[in-house]
Structure 1
Amino acid sequence: MSRRLVDSGVEWIGKMPANWKLRRIGNLFEQRSEKVSDIEYEPLSVTKNGIVKQLATAAKSNDHTNRKKVCLNDFVINSRSDRKMSSGVSPLEGSVSLINIVLHSTDMDPSFVNYLLKNYGFAEEFYRWGTGIVEDLWSTNYSRMKKILIPIPSLEEQKKIANLLEDKVSKINNITEKLKLSIEELKKYKQSLITETVTKGLDPNVEMKNSETSYIGDIPFNWNISRIRYLGFLQNGISKSGEYFGSGHPFVSYSDVYKNIELPKNVDGLVESTNEERERYSVRKGDVFFTRTSETIQEVGFASTCMEEVPGAVFAGFVIRFRPETQELNPAYAKYYFRSEIHRKFFVKEMNIVTRASLSQGLLKRLPVLLPSQEEQREISQFLDEKCYHIDSLIEKKQKIIAEMESYKKSLIYEYVTGKKEVV
């Protein structure tokens, strides 16, 4: 017979076992607020994946003493609302930035605490107690956090719940990791297929010739090779201050270009622009947009081709537009050609970095472009459309399974740490 559940009176908890206690965080944990040096105490990062050694991308301060001490099995949570779910029980001793809350308890099982306080239900409750002027940047301090009510079973049951979840969550994570690896392999295969096809063509028996470009190698004998400067002209995007954004006409952003091989027909961005600006920075079919600047070379020179005009749109200043002036390039072929991996080698070889990687028009003008006949360009684009559609469909199915597994895991943890499911 299942145990009796009662209404906890707390919205995020809902029903809980009648024999469990409802306690405030401040009655179970003590805050650890000792300031230490990150020279003596290893710097740690508080992430959505838990507490780890400081990430290379983490912001670093010259004040090495401006840190909080963290001991083994302390629970650490980032107090800022834009860092939701960045928390966990620390498997390490070290130090974290002052924006984090560090808690320790001698009466709670650390593994149970990790599942209880690092679940979506509690995360929503924690940030509901936050304060601040800007909604997505407010924070929750400990004086408010300690008032939050949480469900507490006996220490023995805490251990049982933690052990069961460790087993179930580990199995779910193993499945999702395999799916993620499979997705990465599919993405790599897709990219290699595009690169191979736009540099070697579809006929494996065709006669080849030297492209005289080392990283491209041999190409079909009847293909031409040109620099992009001879095929059209380049234009940097519009530059406007922040108050012009959020209303007005369509705006093609850096993200629109970076994330998509084909420019979206409907973009989310809006900017107030004049008639002259909309003409100068227009977005027409056949235009190819390149990401112009980033912190790393790896994110510079990503291309997105416009397959259908976006009326009234302008494009971002962090983007360069290439507009063909000849009929030598089929847009459907250009879509794949300019997204191929061969350009990464060109940019890495030719680009200089000071503080940020930046793609200049001068450099982009020298980019080699391989030109099969118009008929072969159409054949290549049709072949890649079919192959990439199949690969993308497989990726989408795997991503859907991952999303379902993550949703199941989230629900499973919540059901056990609030006592709705019982360890038998």
Structure 2
Amino acid sequence: MTAQTVHESLFESAVFPMAPIGSIVVERNEKVSETDFPALSVGKLGVTPQLAGVAKSQSEGDRKLVRAGDLVINSRSDRRGASGLAHQDGSVSVVYSVMTPKPDLLVAEYGHHLLRSTPFQDEFFRWGTGIVDDLWSTNFTRMSRIRVPLPPKGVQRQLAARLDKTDAMIARLDDLAGILRVRRTATWSTVHEMGFQPVKLQWLMREIDHRAGDQNMDLPLLSVSIHHGVQLRGDSPSGQQAGADLSKYKVALAGDIVVNRMRAFQGGLGQVRVDGLVSPDYAVLRPEAVLTPSWAEYVMRSPKFIEEMAQWVRGIGGADQGNVRTPRINVRDLLALSIPLPPADELHRVTAHLDELTGRIDDMLTKLASLRELLVERSSAFLLDVVTGRKEIA
């Protein structure tokens, strides 16, 4: 008997019967080609048509079939909340688990909210296995043992309908955040229209490879997000976990630029605001000479520069076709690229202008993110309250 079988999750206090997931769904494990079934994305937004810029597997035939009405979840259990109900036929990477609800037991819409609830995400991660950062996963066999509350189908439908309303509000917040990010990106794009002379990055910054060892283990962990740049790992919504051995992590100091080499061609880089540790696979670059960290971040996160980086992504496949596997940019190739650089007497002025515009947008994005987080939290809490008998559906 494993530790998992004796652990009691928050769901165990449910007033309704508890059932292992494997008893209420059937795994779908059919391999198909993307040419026959369009690619789908599975993330915080649920199951959607393939998002732009997502790296796909090398082989178009090495994918799993998804039918409308299936439930899909990313087996990478560090990708918290990447799950949902499919509303169209399609295909997903083999790293996903695809399940068909048994119609006499599980209402698909209830299953959608159940998989995305915080209590389930906690259990899903706890049942996962892995030995290094970014490789923690929960396969279907292990997930099938997780016990979940199974109310009568009428209650499942009522609960799903109530939570659908919250999802609609969250979707509107996401749409507004998307509009603001586009506006912020447009602001950064102006750096290429100011007429400054281009200078190669190799003359303006150098790579730093300072490992944590035993002396820097108390530094906070940092992550690199496409939308948020560099942030504290605890503030990241991905739920990404660190590896067991932090001694090989890289030290990044405030003012450094950290590049997620696997997500550089999507904008996965940013300026470090507080000293910390980053994944050994990330590149830590330190601005020198007249280059300031803020100007480096604005230019390197601009669409034009990101497009240039994408041309130098190395891996199996090609970034231009969106099918690159294990994509990474070589630091030498990155530093060979050029950026526009203002004269020293103008650098402060133009940076301050960009700081003001970007700061306003970031403030609005922060407020939207807080409201979204509150809605997600209340949605999970309401589901838990209903299945544990603390509340009834009005």
Q: By the TM > 0.5 criterion, same fold?
A: yes
State the distance in 2 between where 1:398 and 1:77 align: 26
Q: CA deviation at 1:297?
A: 6.5
1:103 paired to 2:119: no
Kept in 2, the 8 Å contact 1:10–1:149? The answer is: no
1:62 paired to 2:84: no
State the distance in 2 between where 1:182 and 1:239 align: 37
State the distance in 2 between where 1:165 and 1:355 align: 41
Cα shift readout 1:25-74 (whole Å, capped 9, x = no counterpart): 3332223334444444444343332223345524314372x444332212
TM superposition score normalised by structure 2: 0.64
- What pairs up with 1:319-358 in 2 under 5 angstroms? 321-324=286-289, 334=292, 337-338=295-296, 353-355=311-313
- What pairs up with 1:145-224 in 2 under 5 angstroms? 145-174=143-172, 176-177=173-174, 179-181=176-178, 183-184=180-181, 187=184, 191=188, 215-216=193-194
Query: What is the one-letter code of the residue matched to 2:26?
Result: E
Query: What is the one-letter code of the residue matched to 1:407?
Result: E
Kept in 2, the 8 Å contact 1:292–1:359? The answer is: no
Query: What is the one-letter code of the residue matched to 1:353?
Result: Q
Structure with the greater alpha carbon radius of gyration:
1
Kept in 2, the 8 Å contact 1:80–1:137? The answer is: yes
- What pairs up with 1:210-289 in 2 under 5 angstroms? 215-216=193-194, 234=204, 236-238=206-208, 244-248=211-215, 259=229
Query: What is the one-letter code of the residue matched to 1:70?
Result: V
Kept in 2, the 8 Å contact 1:172–1:409? The answer is: no
Percent identity of paired positions between Structure 1 and Structure 2 = 26
Q: CA deviation at 1:152?
A: 1.7
Query: What is the one-letter code of the residue matched to 1:412?
Result: F
Q: CA deviation at 1:145?
A: 3.1
Cα shift readout 1:225-255 (whole Å, capped 9, x = no counterpart): 77769xx964532458xxx554446999995
TM superposition score normalised by structure 1: 0.60
1:404 paired to 2:374: yes
State the distance in 1 between where 2:152 and 2:356 align: 58
Query: What is the one-letter code of the residue matched to 1:91?
Result: H
- What pairs up with 1:376-387 in 2 under 5 angstroms? none
- Correspondence for 1:129 among 127, 130, 144: 127
Cα shift readout 1:321-343 (whole Å, capped 9, x = no counterpart): 5533xxxx6x8xx5655555599
List alignment gaps of at least 5 residues for structure 2. Answer: 1-6, 232-241, 276-280, 315-328
Kept in 2, the 8 Å contact 1:71–1:90? The answer is: yes
- What pairs up with 1:46-57 in 2 under 5 angstroms? 46-55=42-51, 56-57=53-54
Which residue pairs with 1:3 in the alignment?
Answer: none
Q: Greater RCO between the two (CA within 8 Å, min separation 6)?
A: 2
Kept in 1, the 8 Å contact 2:21–2:147? The answer is: yes
Which residue pairs with 2:114 in the alignment?
Answer: 116
Query: What is the one-letter code of the residue matched to 1:411?
Result: A
Flag the 1:292–1:116 CA change in 2: closer, same or farther, 3 A: closer
List alignment gaps of at least 5 residues for structure 1. Answer: 1-8, 196-213, 218-224, 262-267, 311-315
RMSD value, Cα: 5.1
Please, which moves more after superposition, 112-121 or 390-399? 390-399
Flag the 1:415–1:37 CA change in 2: closer, same or farther, 3 A: same
Cα shift readout 1:302-350 (whole Å, capped 9, x = no counterpart): 88599x9x9xxxxx994655533xxxx6x8xx56555555995985899
Query: What is the one-letter code of the residue matched to 1:80?
Result: R
State the distance in 2 between where 1:144 and 1:317 align: 31
Cα shift readout 1:110-134 (whole Å, capped 9, x = no counterpart): 1112112321211222333334555
Kept in 1, the 8 Å contact 2:170–2:372? The answer is: no
Kept in 1, the 8 Å contact 2:25–2:99? The answer is: yes
Cα shift readout 1:342-363 (whole Å, capped 9, x = no counterpart): 9959858998934456666665
Which residue pairs with 2:324 in the alignment?
Answer: none
